[in-house]
Amino acid sequence: MTQTTLLYNIGQLLTMDQQEGPVHGKAMNELDVKENYAVFIKDGKIEAIAPNDELADVKADEKIDCQGKLVTPGLVEPHTHLVFGGSREHEMALKQQGVPYLDILKQGGGILSTVRATRKATEEELYEKAMFHLNRMATYGITTVEAKSGYGMNHETELKQLRVAKKAGENHPLDLVSTFLGAHAITEEYKDDPDALLDDMAAMFNQIKDENLAEFVDIFTETGVFTVEQSRRYLQKAKDHGFDLKIHADEIDPLGGTQLAVELGAKTGDHLAVATDEGIKQLAGSDTIGVLLPGTIFYLGKGEFARARKMLEEGAAIAISTDFNPGSSVTENIQLIMSLAALKMKMTPEEIWHAVTVNAAHAINRGDVAGQIKKGRQADVVIWDAPNYMYIPYHYGVNHVNTVIKSGQKLYKRGDLLV
């Protein structure tokens, strides 16, 4: 049976559909804002977008009066470590004492502590936990999510994580895109031979492809983790197996992961907090999208945020993300990240909206289905308790979502106080 919904009295509508591909540099600052609009949804898809007067009388099963509010595409979250066991609140004290993130890792904590918890957890436990976090992401307006493995670093646990992500993607209304991050840290078993760990992880590529468990392969290129050389060899192998690539690049030390991402034609270079001038120049001249994670820099207490302004001036395409994970950025709140992008990276509201919609969708190969409100597309739409698009990064730390519509279905509605 046909199901129709009309959103009318939209104060500001961002369709984000000014161009097909990722939006680069100065163009990220150009936002098309439609005022007094309506959107008609039919059978889960966008059927029409028109001035309010033209659609207000259309018949629909449900009519939602947007009361002059802001309406945008569902947000796209392009970098999360969604599936993990345990949590790391005990590391907060170490952080307060000033123990650096990489030192905690060197002492067997950090990522390795989550590896132990994830190895111990059952598939059911991981699944329940992942579904809980997906639900919370949905409440913040996210309708498509990337999810990485990387807390197993052995076949059994990496496959467990990837299967959990696949099942969550099949059962949760949010769309999920999976990334294999078997090369996330050096475990005790391989501490004297990281190359052997990489070989062991690469030995899973065929199975991951055959079972369709991941689209991307990612690596942590960092001091004390994997070198640029090791990353190049590993990622080239992944590319030869038909995977698209991502790199955790230049997060803490400027090793040149940004340049490697460009050299290998990676879909994204992620973090880039300490990318060099040369890295930024190469990024700007490439098709690789920079996924910036200011929540991580904030949470790790570091002073240096990614140089978004320079990247944009030079013409790079940028997305932003929570980097949701149990250690370096423990939040599902992408709206908070939008505020940090504004306050700490000096991105304009116009740039920020591109970074959480169309560019984030391209960053995970979903540019043709997510991140835009466009005729014929699945109707992933957010109604905000906000009068305009600038308001979201401005009023920080809270949830501004009024209603989330996923593929035409109402998925979340802000609750009311009970007293």
Binding site for ligand NIG (CB under 6 A): 81, 110-111, 114, 220, 248, 251, 296, 323, 325-329
Choice between 49 and 247, CB closer to Zn ion = 247
Query: Does 88 show up as a binding residue in the annotation?
Result: yes
CB 86 within 8 A of CB 326: yes
Choice between 259 and 322, CB closer to Zn ion = 322
Smallest gap from Cβ 343 to ligand NIG, in A, equals: 20
Smallest gap from Cβ 300 to ligand NIG, in A, equals: 8
Choice between 160 and 406, CB closer to ligand NIG = 160
Distance between CA 263 and CA 30 in Å, rounded?
Answer: 29
Q: Which residue is nearest to ligand NIG (CB)?
A: 327
Query: Does 79 show up as a binding residue in the annotation?
Result: yes
Smallest gap from Cβ 305 to Zn ion, in A, equals: 16
Which candidate, 31, 62, 92, 85, places its Cα nearest to that of 390?
Answer: 31
Q: How many alpha carbons fall within 13 Å on the CB side of residue 10? A: 31
Q: Within 306-335, which residues bind Zn ion (CB under 5 A)?
A: 323
Query: Does 328 show up as a binding residue in the annotation?
Result: yes
Smallest gap from Cβ 318 to ligand NIG, in A, equals: 17
Choice between 245 and 379, CB closer to Zn ion = 245
Q: Beta 268-271 vs 33-42: how paired, if at all?
A: unpaired
Query: Does 325 show up as a binding residue in the annotation?
Result: yes
Query: Does 248 show up as a binding residue in the annotation?
Result: yes
Task: Select from Zn ion, ligand NIG, none the partner in contact with residue 296, using the beta carbon and a kind-dependent cut-off of 5 to 8 Å.
Answer: ligand NIG
Which secondary-structure segment (H or E) carries 5?
Answer: strand 4-14
DSSP label of 288: P
Q: Which amino acid is at 350?
A: E
What one-character-per-residue DSSP string does 294-329 give?
HHHHHHTT-S----HHHHHHHT-BEEE-----SSS-
Choice between 46 and 153, CB closer to ligand NIG = 153
Smallest gap from Cβ 417 to ligand NIG, in A, equals: 35
Distance between CA 338 and CA 163 in Å, rounded?
Answer: 31
Smallest gap from Cβ 145 to ligand NIG, in A, equals: 15
Determine the Cα angle at 326 with ends 271 and 77, to 5°.
50
Task: Select from Zn ion, ligand NIG, none the partner in contact with residue 328, using the beta carbon and a kind-dependent cut-off of 5 to 8 Å.
Answer: ligand NIG
Query: Phi-psi category of 39—alpha, beta or left, where left has phi over 0 and alpha has psi -120 to 50?
Result: beta
Smallest gap from Cβ 208 to ligand NIG, in A, equals: 19
Choice between 322 and 339, CB closer to Zn ion = 322
The pair of structure tokens assigned to 55 is 């659609």
Distance between CA 19 and CA 220 in Å, rounded?
Answer: 32
Which residue has tokens 């000014």?
18
Determine the Cα angle at 268 with ends 267 and 271, to 5°.
170
The pair of structure tokens assigned to 237 is 């192998």
Query: Does 110 show up as a binding residue in the annotation?
Result: no
- From residue 150, alpha-carbon distances to 51, 156, 166, 201 in Å are 47, 12, 15, 10
Choice between 72 and 113, CB closer to ligand NIG = 113
- Residues annotated within the binding site are 79, 81, 88, 151, 184, 248, 251, 323, 325, 327-328
Query: Which residues are annotated as part of the binding site for Zn(2+)?
Result: 79, 81, 248, 323
Instruction: Could you list the residues known to form a binding site for 4-imidazolone-5-propanoate, using ranges.
Output: 88, 151, 184, 251, 328
Which residues of this protein are in contact with Zn ion, per CB under 5 A?
A: 323
Numbered residues of the known binding site for N-formimidoyl-L-glutamate: 151, 325, 327
